[in-house]
Structure 1
């Protein structure tokens, strides 16, 4: 299973927004500069997070993004699903029919599809149990202060 880099970017931006305090929206350009990321692509990720209700978006010269919910109410799965979509990672194409399996046999998922479904369900459940607040708590002690310091130094 491969997760696109947009998930990492989205998670780090959510952490930054949480640590910045949410008093004013942060523009995409400032977040992109903080992490040395392409602003146009990052904006697509942030817009996806806003459409999913994870961030709020404010237009205009004083606009940008803020967390829409407390970090304890945002799961890692929320971010993954917003950016990557919720389609299953494994797609069974019933290749066993090419090896002689009959139609009756193929009415039920094969053991490969069942195993992959079990693994993906476990992965999604694990991400659903971890919140942004959990990640914040596990971050190095200096991370929140560094983010706040950056925010203060880079105010409009």
Structure 2
């Protein structure tokens, strides 16, 4: 499974906003510049996060984006769903009923496809793992690995 770059960008933006810990919005252009990202493409990700209720958009000259929820309440699964959608990664098309299985009796296919069951189980575990990690968890881990990261983010957005 390969995730869109927008997922990575979105998690970093949410992390940066969590480090700011204030109610002043950050313009999309500033968020893009701080990670050297294409502003128009990042803005599409930001709008998806707004639609998902993870960010709040503030219009106007002093507008921008703010967290819409506490970092403790935003999971990595929320971010993936906002950017990638909620569709299952694996879609069984029942190919076992075609080709060499074409002439098999219909009773052979009453039970769920074992391949589909295995793939759905794996995806469920992946989704549970993502749902168990929050932006606050990522912030705590990043703070432990790079204690100056929060200070750098606050400085980048004029918060120091």
Structure-1-length-normalised TM-score = 0.93
Equivalence map 1:36-47=2 (5 Å): 36-47=36-47
Q: Which residue of 1 aligns with 2:117?
A: 114
Greater radius of gyration (CA)? 2
> Tell me, what secondary structure is at the counterpart of 1:104?
helix
- Higher deviation after alignment, 20-29 or 40-49: 20-29
Q: Which residue of 2 aligns with 1:58?
A: 58
Q: Which residue of 1 aligns with 2:155?
A: 149
Structure-2-length-normalised TM-score = 0.91
Deviations 1:77-135 (A, max 9, x none): 00000110000000111111112144333343211100000000000000000000000
Q: Is the 8 A contact 1:94 1:106 kept in 2?
A: no
Mark the runs of 5 or more structure 1 residues left unpaired by the alignment: none
CA RMSD of aligned residues (A): 1.5
Equivalence map 1:7-156=2 (5 Å): 7-98=7-98, 99-100=100-101, 101-139=104-142, 140-152=146-158
Aligned residues: 154
